Structure 1
Amino acid sequence: MTSFKHAAMLSGVALSAFAMPAMAQNAAAPQAADTPSLGEIVVTAQRRSESVTKVPISITVADSKQLERQQVNTITDLSRIAPSLEIQAAPGQNTGGGGSIRGIGTQTFSAGAVASVGVVVDQVSQGNANISNLFDVARVEVLKGPQGTLFGLTTSAGVINITTNKPEFDKVSVRVRTELSNAGTAGSKSGNQVMQGVVNLPLASNAAIRIAGFGNLRQGPDYNLTSGKYTGNDTWGTRGHLLWQPTERLTINLIGDYTQTRTTNGGDFFTFVKANGAAAFPLAAGVPDNVSANLASCGITAAEGNRNFCTSANYVDHTYSGGASLQVDYQADPFTITSISAYRKSLESGSGAATSVFRADPLLLQVANGDVHRPIDLFTQELRISSPSGQTVEYTGGLFYSNQIQSRMPEPLTVSIHPAPGVFIPVVSAGTGAFRVSDTSMAIYGQSTIHASEKLRLIAGGRYTWDGLKLDTFAGSILGSTNSHTGLDVNKFSWKLGGQYDVARKTMVYGTVSRGFKGGQIATPAYPRTPYVVLPEIPTSYELGLKSTLLGSWVLDTSLFYSTIKNFQAQQCITDVNGVISCDQKNIDGVKSRGAEINLFGKVTKNLSLNTGFIWAKTTYPTGFKGTDGTMIGGTQLAYAPEYKFTLSGEYSQKLTERFNGFFAMDTVWKSRVRYEANSIAETTFRPHWTVGGRVGVRTADERFTVAVFARNLFNVHEPALMQSSFPYSDGANVGAIYGPQSFRSVGLSLDGKF
């Protein structure tokens, strides 16, 4: 009944909201159309196609050519395209993609959480049933700052807005591309074989279908000394897109995708990067645990970049994800009506690397988790209307509904001591029981741009959201009778106000203030602790920016920003007395993010494309904040947030003959020091560093065929995805790290053919 009343209320308000801008439009004199010109970079950051230089939002844009030359094949790779964007790829922690923008993001192992940085693919919010691989992508837009007015609940820090390539009515086309590397060949530290294929088939003069598929097979970087095998991560996926325009006014897009991943031999998980000498573990009754010696007995040397582990356990984990969306656009003059219905599902099942947390059989202490079964179901429905461009009052408004259900079967945890071969002493048996988290959200939203004069535009938008969150725990080992219930109902209004002014024909300045909203979460700690509520996150953000077109088509995007976050949702992990990594989700009031960013992207000359950016983002804990080690860290940089970051990528091409062109591409990132824990332990920070890659190759003059040699992380800089002190105990004396493929050098060959 509550949901019905909210829906009825939102529908009534929506009708009123839609009527008002329609009347304003009828009363106003039409202005010149604001249609992007040929050669301009077009984005959909405001749910309509516009030139990037006309949008009053700080945006970093990467088109398909940039994504391919930087070999952006996964969501994690996107951190190389924008200085403001960081994506942590630690297994189980990347809620909604694991992204952070300007230092603000959601890093958590809690099932009852949503992301601060939303991932949107073809106008569909991915929630926590997120895609992991990128293929046949037309454009990626990184929108910075709260975007809740138009994009909704999970966008309090920003949005990664992904647009895939649409079917084409007028031609049959085929494309095949691959990137091949092998562990140990040409200095490559791991192996990776990426294969992508696309077929476009016209079905009629007004209908076409596009089918894209990929395989991403990876060996390493972690290596099991016991089995003599690299870890394996094999992913296969496909997407089908049907585009049909039955009339001039009606457009139908039907999209479906499916991906499956098989992880073997441990995947990307903890390895030891620092180990102490002999120490008496409290639960071992005085038996010394010489961590470094025990690791050395199976060939492990704990040091930066160590990717070796040693265990006889066999891990196999499967992840399945997919979904479908139906978008219908109807031009009902004077506005366009859009309906988007979408369903997504993901499932992780099996015995992942966390089955053995340390992955070192000789250690005295062993911590193991049981098998996992983690399904996620997400349904979303959006209905919106948009005015045409070029009116005195331009508007977009709509209704949005989403329901996300995450379930987990019981996940046992055991701690044991192995004082001698074959001797097994159980210490702790705990874990989580079966539970289900349901997150239902309904919203009405609208945003208008008022052309007050030829050069001045005013912006006003708002979104009213009802978010209902509940967690049910279940007795026994199945999702049967409810054992306990925890809930949270929130009604919030988020908004945006601002203005923009054209100071010259190709230069615009803007200023905005916005209030965002990210729903609460229900944390699910291990037994015997009970679930608890973490309050919604409320950011208030101020931004001043300038955009200009230089040298014909090179875009300058620069901004100053200041944000305060009420009830920032953080996670703090410690290793308890049993050697178990225990993570708490909590609110931190008074987190701030402020700084400046500059981005330049586009074509400098006919032969030179260049994309570069720099950010200073001072993102800090509040005054008086105490870290997990008991030290005061108020005013210092947030975990996972580099204060400075620089990105540079580009390609220069040169005619070699009438039929062939040569090219050289570069891809580099510099970051300041990064901390991985909310404490003062220096051993879990990583130093300032450069990561450099590039490609050199030849392509035909018509760009149909390309062959190139590439290198990623050329100088083999071992930046971790995550670090953990007290691994298994003794603070910074023992440290574990998770490394991914981005942490090691990769050298290989890329081929591309269009037919």
Structure 2
Amino acid sequence: MSFSAMKVGLLSSVFTGTAMFAAPAAHGQDGPAEAEQQEQGSTIYVTARKREEDLIDVPLPVTVATQEQLNRDQVYSLNDLQRITPALEISQTSGGESNGGGRLRGVGTGVFNPSVASSVALVIDQVPVGNMSFPQLFDMAQVEVLRGPQGTLFGQGASAGVLNVTTRAPVLGEFGMNASVDWADKGTVGSEVGEWVINAGVNVPLGQIGALRVATQFKEETGLQHSVTTGQDNVIQDWGLRGRLLLEPSDALTINLNAEYAQNTSDGQTFFAVAIAPNATTPFGPPGATIGGISTGAYTDPAGCAMPVIDERAEFYCENDPSYLRTEVQAYSAVFDLDLSDDLSVTSVTSYRARRFDQEHRDFSRILPAPAAQQNLTREDANGLSQELRLSYVGDTFDFVAGGFYQDFEFDRIPLGGVFGSNLPGERVGFSVCNPGGTFCPVGNQFTDELTENRTLALFADATVQVSEVVSIFGGLRLDDYKNTTTVQTFPAIPGNAGGPNGTAGTFVTEDSNISGRIGVSFQPNPDTNIFASYSRGYKPPAVGTNPAGQLFQLEPEKANAFELGARFNIGDVQLSGNVFYNELLDFQSQTSVFVGTALVSQPLNIDQIESYGFEVGAVGEILPGWVVNAGYQFNNITFPSGYVGDDGGNLGGTQFLNAPRHKFTLSSEFSTPVTESIEFFVNANLVYKSDVLLAARADDRFRYPAHELINGGLGIRDADGGWNLSVFVRNLTEEREPTAYLASTFAGRPDGGIRAWPVAGLTARVVGIRAGFEF
């Protein structure tokens, strides 16, 4: 039995076994989430300022997705999060970018190398993930999306905002279990992808002072893409296991210990499949322009790749050898909360996280037969240690949070076996362009070792002062001290590159310190109204880039000036919000693609200035009995600066920025009504509308995906007390073909070999299936 089959069997056993325990008790007691909701009513609590507060009292632009919404909207990955709020876009590709891939209000990480800090911080249970994100999310209690610079409390990786994720915590004195299964079959009732998602969790009380929660998720996706060379569908698997231990040895001390393991394997998924055919019909266009029918035929001709069709579904591709990638994450954290008095407390957050990414073989080929670009036997190791210590005070007219933060991060690219410089199949290490199964390599095998180490020290303080019964002033400062050391070495040496005979491009050290912060005012004439305004200074530290000649250079620090005017109102059980924003980005860290010979190479750069302005409106709550809604709309004008030249040499000045729709609307809604005394019917919908989106820095309109809607939904029946549920679901009902990214393809070293796309299930392809679950 394979390891994957063992995992499915284990999780299925957990589901079946827990169902046997659950059956007699499902109506006897409320689950932890339901009990908490009953206790708190319709109030939404957040930790956007590192202390628990009613959302109405928080003078920041925050969108909240509750556990109930995350479940009904089938949010299982970072990519799925972009469906919960109009401000967020995710541009992940292979297994999760090291920098996260998140963009808020059009601002995100524009350079994907390990020395670059993220623009949108991912924080899980108070722990900053940094440059070690992972695509899978499971057993979540709540997600808060904080927009605008949040560096005062969350650090240098939060220059555009924060995704603040809270997982389900252990509950003292209660035994509880939950499990669910989502299933879809490719080709059945219109589903274009096969899918298994199995979730399970158990809460075990440990005497009077402790509780343990163990949760797991297994997700398998098949058939998003199909290799015409091997005849096989690709398979993507995610598996995660988390244990949370809660100890309360006294009324004053709370201890939370977390341990997590997760892995992702991608078997057969290609690196950007051809989705848009070359745009010329003549065999050869003008010099340096299009090749047209020649390159189209190379994909569809039976003697070549023999793809049955080229379309935006990006399903079919050809390859010399199937790609196989594996990502593994381990994470550990310890959070100690000690109450020194009724008003004063101290919190310590210690964490260690390690991420390993193996590229056993990645095939970049598009056309057969031909020498194939490929990456072989390469391993990337990253690990980070962080420590935060903070003091919190909550008084009648004065609140503050102050503390210190330390983080150490290391990234190293190393061989995964193999022989340096060998062109023999099975021995190649690193990048090469070689004849299939042979030793002829037009571009010989080369491995680039990159070692990046950085250290961050920070002091921070954030305070709120009540200056009258209705007016408060809030603000804070953060002092960051940063140092990064990057060494790049190539084996064997590249002729003409910088460095000595061993291929060392050099070691580059960059250091910087910065003071950032925010200041604002909040006006609360009554408990159901909050009107606020603020100014924030965002900061992202310098990084190290490599130019095409192999020389290292400094990417300048990125800074932001952000202004916010917003308001929140409680009207019955509904909270309405709105805000206007303006953000000026200085020395935005980005990258461009340049041709070096016939190879397309990415080079980091700073863009002098980018401006973003717009407004947002939102509504969340129960509109009518049984009808809940979380809806939002954003208008965001963020454009390339005047005269900016795209990767294709075209003028992008004044056009809407990358991965930043000017208009976006999201809706998550559910209506339920009783069928019998113990059973209710429900129907839910998750809708997303986007105006056109630029998916590559190119002036060619083919790289701009048009305005569209994404329609997801489900309907079913469930126990009125939440004990069990059964439903059918559909994601991407109308078969929209939006990918997560576009990439220009080349043919014979010329620019038009069509356009490649990275598809995502539920975004590019439709998924239809059934769900079943229980909780007690």
Same fold? TM cut 0.5:
yes
Taking the aligned partners of 1:158 and 1:514, their CA distance within structure 2 comes to 11
SS state of the match for residue 433, structure 1? strand
**Is the aligned partner of 1:470 residue 2:470?**
no
Q: Which amino acid aligns with 1:321?
A: V
Residue of structure 1 in register with 2:384 after alignment: 378
Q: 1:428 aligns with which of 443, 448, 453?
A: 443
Note closer, same or farther for the CA distance 1:575–1:675 as it changes in structure 2 (3 Å cut): farther
Residue of structure 2 in register with 1:571 after alignment: 591
**Is the aligned partner of 1:403 residue 2:408?**
yes
* 8 Å contact from structure 2 (residues 447, 490) kept in 1: no
Q: 1:599 aligns with which of 586, 599, 618?
A: 618
Taking the aligned partners of 1:92 and 1:247, their CA distance within structure 2 comes to 42
Residue of structure 1 in register with 2:564 after alignment: 543
* 8 Å contact from structure 2 (residues 448, 488) kept in 1: yes
Query: Is the deviation greater in 241-250 or in 566-575?
Result: 566-575
SS state of the match for residue 80, structure 2? helix
Shift of 1:63: 0.3
Q: Which amino acid aligns with 2:157?
A: T
Residue of structure 2 in register with 1:259 after alignment: 262
Taking the aligned partners of 2:596 and 2:311, their CA distance within structure 1 comes to 23
**Is the aligned partner of 1:451 residue 2:481?**
no
SS state of the match for residue 96, structure 1? coil
Shift of 1:66: 0.3
Q: 2:203 aligns with which of 192, 200, 204?
A: 200
Residue of structure 1 in register with 2:145 after alignment: 142
**Is the aligned partner of 1:504 residue 2:510?**
no
- Deviations along 1:547-599, one digit per CA (max 9) or x if unpaired, are 1112x221112110000001101122345541x23112111011011100111
- Deviations along 1:243-282, one digit per CA (max 9) or x if unpaired, are 0011100110000100012211135633342135676799
Q: 1:637 aligns with which of 656, 663, 682?
A: 656
TM-score relative to the length of structure 2: 0.87
Taking the aligned partners of 1:422 and 1:203, their CA distance within structure 2 comes to 58
Shift of 1:637: 1.0
Taking the aligned partners of 1:572 and 1:483, their CA distance within structure 2 comes to 21
Taking the aligned partners of 1:360 and 1:248, their CA distance within structure 2 comes to 67
Shift of 1:107: 3.6
Residue of structure 1 in register with 2:93 after alignment: 90
Residue of structure 2 in register with 1:314 after alignment: 322
Q: 2:345 aligns with which of 336, 355, 358?
A: 336
Taking the aligned partners of 1:102 and 1:299, their CA distance within structure 2 comes to 38
**Is the aligned partner of 1:622 residue 2:630?**
no
Residue of structure 2 in register with 1:27 after alignment: none
Residue of structure 2 in register with 1:17 after alignment: none
Taking the aligned partners of 1:591 and 1:260, their CA distance within structure 2 comes to 37
- Deviations along 1:197-239, one digit per CA (max 9) or x if unpaired, are 0000000112100000110111131111122211111111100
TM-score relative to the length of structure 1: 0.89
Kindly report the root-mean-square deviation, in angstroms, between the aligned alpha carbons of the 2 structures.
Answer: 2.5
**Is the aligned partner of 1:349 residue 2:358?**
yes
Q: 1:67 aligns with which of 44, 66, 70?
A: 70
* 8 Å contact from structure 1 (residues 625, 634) kept in 2: yes
Residue of structure 2 in register with 1:748 after alignment: 769
Taking the aligned partners of 1:384 and 1:634, their CA distance within structure 2 comes to 44
Q: Which amino acid aligns with 1:506?
A: D
Query: Is the deviation greater in 217-226 or in 145-154?
Result: 217-226
Q: Which amino acid aligns with 1:442?
A: L
Taking the aligned partners of 2:491 and 2:372, their CA distance within structure 1 comes to 26
Query: Is the deviation greater in 298-307 or in 698-707?
Result: 298-307
SS state of the match for residue 307, structure 2? coil
Q: Which amino acid aligns with 2:414?
A: M
SS state of the match for residue 708, structure 1? strand
* 8 Å contact from structure 1 (residues 148, 517) kept in 2: yes
* 8 Å contact from structure 2 (residues 648, 698) kept in 1: yes
Taking the aligned partners of 1:44 and 1:100, their CA distance within structure 2 comes to 21
5 Å-filtered alignment, 1:1-400, equals: 38-91=41-94, 94-266=97-269, 269-275=272-278, 290-296=294-300, 297=302, 298-333=306-341, 334-352=343-361, 355-362=362-369, 364=370, 366-388=372-394, 390-400=395-405
Residue of structure 2 in register with 1:557 after alignment: 577
Taking the aligned partners of 2:117 and 2:742, their CA distance within structure 1 comes to 22
Residue of structure 1 in register with 2:672 after alignment: 653
Residue of structure 2 in register with 1:19 after alignment: none
Taking the aligned partners of 1:541 and 1:676, their CA distance within structure 2 comes to 25
* 8 Å contact from structure 1 (residues 94, 108) kept in 2: no
Residue of structure 1 in register with 2:426 after alignment: none
**Is the aligned partner of 1:490 residue 2:512?**
yes
Residue of structure 2 in register with 1:13 after alignment: none
Taking the aligned partners of 1:107 and 1:300, their CA distance within structure 2 comes to 35
Shift of 1:432: 5.0
Taking the aligned partners of 2:654 and 2:554, their CA distance within structure 1 comes to 26
Residue of structure 2 in register with 1:532 after alignment: 553
Residue of structure 2 in register with 1:513 after alignment: 535
Shift of 1:81: 0.2
Taking the aligned partners of 1:397 and 1:525, their CA distance within structure 2 comes to 41
- Deviations along 1:509-558, one digit per CA (max 9) or x if unpaired, are 000001011122212456x42222211110110000011112x2211121
Shift of 1:367: 2.3
* 8 Å contact from structure 2 (residues 576, 617) kept in 1: yes
Taking the aligned partners of 1:477 and 1:435, their CA distance within structure 2 comes to 14
Note closer, same or farther for the CA distance 1:617–1:395 as it changes in structure 2 (3 Å cut): same
Taking the aligned partners of 2:187 and 2:726, their CA distance within structure 1 comes to 21
Shift of 1:474: 4.0
Shift of 1:467: 0.8
SS state of the match for residue 539, structure 2? coil
- Deviations along 1:471-506, one digit per CA (max 9) or x if unpaired, are 02346589x998721011000000101000013331
SS state of the match for residue 211, structure 1? strand
Sequence identity (%): 29
Q: Which runs of 5+ in 2 are unaligned?
A: 1-38, 416-428, 494-501
Residue of structure 1 in register with 2:425 after alignment: none
Q: Which amino acid aligns with 1:112?
A: S
SS state of the match for residue 371, structure 1? strand
Taking the aligned partners of 1:510 and 1:186, their CA distance within structure 2 comes to 50
**Is the aligned partner of 1:413 residue 2:393?**
no
Taking the aligned partners of 2:116 and 2:235, their CA distance within structure 1 comes to 29
**Is the aligned partner of 1:688 residue 2:703?**
no
Shift of 1:92: 7.1
Q: Which amino acid aligns with 2:368?
A: D
* 8 Å contact from structure 1 (residues 95, 113) kept in 2: no
* 8 Å contact from structure 1 (residues 466, 492) kept in 2: yes
Q: Which amino acid aligns with 1:412?
A: G
* 8 Å contact from structure 1 (residues 367, 415) kept in 2: yes
Taking the aligned partners of 2:545 and 2:730, their CA distance within structure 1 comes to 41
Taking the aligned partners of 1:605 and 1:255, their CA distance within structure 2 comes to 39
Note closer, same or farther for the CA distance 1:101–1:230 as it changes in structure 2 (3 Å cut): same
Taking the aligned partners of 1:74 and 1:601, their CA distance within structure 2 comes to 23
Query: Is the deviation greater in 697-706 or in 127-136?
Result: 127-136
Note closer, same or farther for the CA distance 1:496–1:345 as it changes in structure 2 (3 Å cut): same
* 8 Å contact from structure 2 (residues 371, 441) kept in 1: no
Taking the aligned partners of 1:85 and 1:482, their CA distance within structure 2 comes to 40
Taking the aligned partners of 2:203 and 2:457, their CA distance within structure 1 comes to 37
Note closer, same or farther for the CA distance 1:200–1:468 as it changes in structure 2 (3 Å cut): same
- Equivalent pairs, count: 707
